[in-house]
Structure 1
Amino acid sequence: MANTMQFDLVSPEKRLASLEATAVQIPAAEGDMTVMPDHAPVITTLRPGLVRVSAADGAQTQYAVTGGFAEINPEGASVLAEHAFLGAAESRAALEGFLEDARKRATEAEAEDRDVAEKFVADLVHLLEAME
């Protein structure tokens, strides 16, 4: 069994991380999951949340993501995020902008789409609270 795995985090804007990790917590759409070396292959969608990485050198880092998907295999995990942030001040301002837009879309959503839109708003609120 390997002690580390490759972790990559990319967004359309840039690559935020590429490192050896011992564990990665991912905000999967079905619920939070922890990925470790030799994990079974999985592809999952992401909800807004924090990706927490335990690096091989012991460093702990967290990234805010607004959604996307993750591909997991025994050798590592790749997260392809819609938007991802590392800095707290920069990410908070951007996420508050996403939240304002999401609230507007939720109020304008058709009845059949309103639940999904309101869930996205709730996930963004929870993400902002987790960052405090």
Structure 2
Amino acid sequence: MTQTIRVDIVSAEAEIFHGDATMVIATGEVGELGITPRHAPLITRLKPGHVDVLQENGERQQFYVSGGILEVQPQVVTVLADTAARASELDEASAQKAKKEAEEALSSRTDAVDVSEAQAKLAQALAQLQALERMRRNLKH
């Protein structure tokens, strides 16, 4: 029997996922993280991006998070995010529109606060589009 670790992905609105996994892959501030059962305890910030949950049956659950915190304890991995969604529920047209609006705001460069807000929105839109692309690639395999 394969060892598993419990995974909880929670947003400000709801619990998005609760289940067991053989591995969790997430985008940390300093790069990709791969968490497996018996991983050392860890707390780190997440960048806007993907969280993949590999289940014991071989199924891959894919999620988008707007950033947040990843906590690893001996028996559980917890992802706390302001916004989280299953990759399959993302709206590509909305993400493309948000990307375009953020790029336009950055090109006009009106105010330092506006620029940092536009940069954050651009990062989130790009992360959503990347999550959709990862999901499409994994469906082909």
Normalising by structure 2, report the TM-score: 0.73
Contact 2:9 2:78 in 1 (8 A): yes
Q: For the pair shown, which has the larger CA radius of gyration, 1 or 2?
A: 2
Distance 1:52 1:130 in 2: 10
Q: Does 1:124 align with 2:118?
A: no
Letter of the structure 1 residue corresponding to residue 58 of structure 2? G
Give aligned pairs, total.
130
Aligned pairs (5 A) from 1:71-90: 71-90=71-90
Query: CA, structure 1 residues 90+124, in 2 after alignment: closer, same or farther (shift >3 Å)?
Result: closer
Contact 1:49 1:124 in 2 (8 A): no
Deviations 1:39-74 (A, max 9, x none): 111111111111000012221110011111111122
Shift of 1:121: 2.3
Aligned pairs (5 A) from 1:33-44: 33-44=33-44
Aligned pairs (5 A) from 1:1-132: 3-93=3-93, 95-96=95-96, 99=99, 102-103=102-103, 106=106, 107-110=109-112, 118=119, 121-122=122-123, 124-132=125-133
Shift of 1:78: 0.2
Contact 1:85 1:91 in 2 (8 A): no
Query: CA, structure 1 residues 8+101, in 2 after alignment: closer, same or farther (shift >3 Å)?
Result: farther
Normalising by structure 1, report the TM-score: 0.78
Shift of 1:124: 3.4
Query: CA, structure 1 residues 109+70, in 2 after alignment: closer, same or farther (shift >3 Å)?
Result: farther
Letter of the structure 1 residue corresponding to residue 45 of structure 2? T
Unaligned runs of 5+ in 1: none
Shift of 1:99: 3.9
Unaligned runs of 5+ in 2: 134-141
Letter of the structure 2 residue corresponding to residue 124 of structure 1? A
